[in-house]
A = this chain, B = another copy of it.
Amino acid sequence: MVTLEKVREAAARLEGVAYHTPVMTSRAIDDLAGRQLVFKCENLQKVGAFKFRGAWNAVASLSDAEAARGVCTHSSGNHAQALALAAQMRGITAHIVMPENVAPIKLSAVEGYGAAITLCEPTLEARETALAKLLHESGAVLVHPYNDAHIIAGQGTAALELLAQAELDAIITPVGGGGLLSGTCIATRGTAPEVALYGAEPAGADDAAQSLASGELVPQLAPDTICDGLLTSLGELTWPILRDHLAGIITVDDDAVRQAMRLLWERMELLVEPSGAIGLAAVLSPGFQSDAQRVGVILTGGNVDLVKFFQE
């Protein structure tokens, strides 16, 4: 079980390793929101995303015997970079399974951190087969991107920092598999129980909203959104935490996400990927009915493929 104590242990492991990312504000955006927004800039975290927090916490928690076997995961996104960097920093091998159609820039980023990459066909089945083979052959320790207690505890350290940086009535984070949001729940409930907690989710991948509405875990089928970091289903560890602690999930469409990205760039010089900007899109949307005056918004993900995005 993930507890506040586990989040605090993670924070101790991350001290001097991850950044204490800054919080930033914008009067222009506050005027639009009609509230005071405090942006926690995890887009400026190592590898450009909060994912490094969980990855380092997981890697640093391994025994020497476990570490010697290396770590592995399948991911084409920020978790792959985060795990590769964390493994490199501990001096062990990260085995990463990636689809063969992965963007070259993402492949080279993971290679740059010294990971051993296995390419597979871009289907879930091929991915899982490749990962199973790799686990069997290498004996490496699987580090799941979100359904893992160390990962959840590590991601929760961002909210711990944020709550020390600003007094808040609510916090909103993106929700994909729910690692960041469930860690945020644990960190916040234990230290600032009056703070309301929200998830921001693409309308085209709204499994968390559906799960919350129906009271049971609804898997994500056929997601359709530009938020490519938020396509997955909730996990068995993250779902019960969200179910028990959230004030709500706000869904927004891709146009709202694009507008939020543009605002962050034009008003705050922050360039974040769609999945990382969705918290602002949600707070600005009519669906956000909260009376919270001071809202913490966790931004994350600086991995924008600039050429692609701005050609649209």
Stretch of A96-104, A138-146, A301-309 contacting B (4+ beta carbons < 8 Å): A301-309
Enumerate chain B residues within 8 angstroms of A48, measured Cβ to Cβ: 269
Interface residue tally of chain A, by bracket? 20 to 34
| A21 nearest CB neighbor, chain B only | B22
A79, B265: Cα distance in complex, Å:
18
B19–A44 CB distance below 8 A:
no
Enumerate chain B residues within 8 angstroms of A41, measured Cβ to Cβ: 44
Q: What distance in Å separates the Cβ of A114 from its nearest Cβ neighbour in chain B?
A: 11
A28–B265 CB distance below 8 A:
no
| A301 nearest CB neighbor, chain B only | B269
- Contact flags A10-28 to B (C-beta < 8 A → 1, else 0): 0000000001011010001
Please judge, given known A-B contacts A22-B21, A269-B48, whether A310 and B306 are in contact too, CB under 8 Å.
yes
A222, B48: Cα distance in complex, Å:
39
| Other-chain residue from B24, B109, B306, B307 in contact with A19 (beta carbon distance below 8 A) | B24
| Other-chain residue from B21, B112, B306 in contact with A306 (beta carbon distance below 8 A) | B306
Enumerate chain B residues within 8 angstroms of A306, measured Cβ to Cβ: 265, 306, 310
Enumerate chain B residues within 8 angstroms of A307, measured Cβ to Cβ: 310
Q: What distance in Å separates the Cβ of A38 from its nearest Cβ neighbour in chain B?
A: 13
Q: What distance in Å separates the Cβ of A307 from its nearest Cβ neighbour in chain B?
A: 5
A48, B41: Cα distance in complex, Å:
15
Q: What distance in Å separates the Cβ of A81 from its nearest Cβ neighbour in chain B?
A: 11
A252 at the interface (CB under 8 A from B): no
Q: What distance in Å separates the Cβ of A44 from its nearest Cβ neighbour in chain B?
A: 6
Enumerate chain B residues within 8 angstroms of A105, measured Cβ to Cβ: 266
| A109 nearest CB neighbor, chain B only | B266
A310, B271: Cα distance in complex, Å:
14
- Contact flags A175-188 to B (C-beta < 8 A → 1, else 0): 00000000000000
A43 at the interface (CB under 8 A from B): yes
B302–A269 CB distance below 8 A:
yes
Q: Which residues of A contact B (CB under 8 A)?
A: 19, 21-22, 24, 28, 41, 43-44, 48, 105, 109, 112, 265-266, 269-271, 302-303, 306-307, 310
* CB-defined A-B contacts under 8 Å, sample of 24: A19-B22, A19-B24, A21-B22, A22-B22, A22-B44, A24-B44, A28-B112, A41-B44, A43-B269, A44-B44, A44-B269, A44-B270, A48-B269, A105-B266, A109-B266, A265-B306, A269-B271, A269-B302, A269-B303, A271-B271, A306-B306, A306-B310, A307-B310, A310-B310
Closest 3 CB pairs of A and B: A269-B302, A48-B269, A22-B22
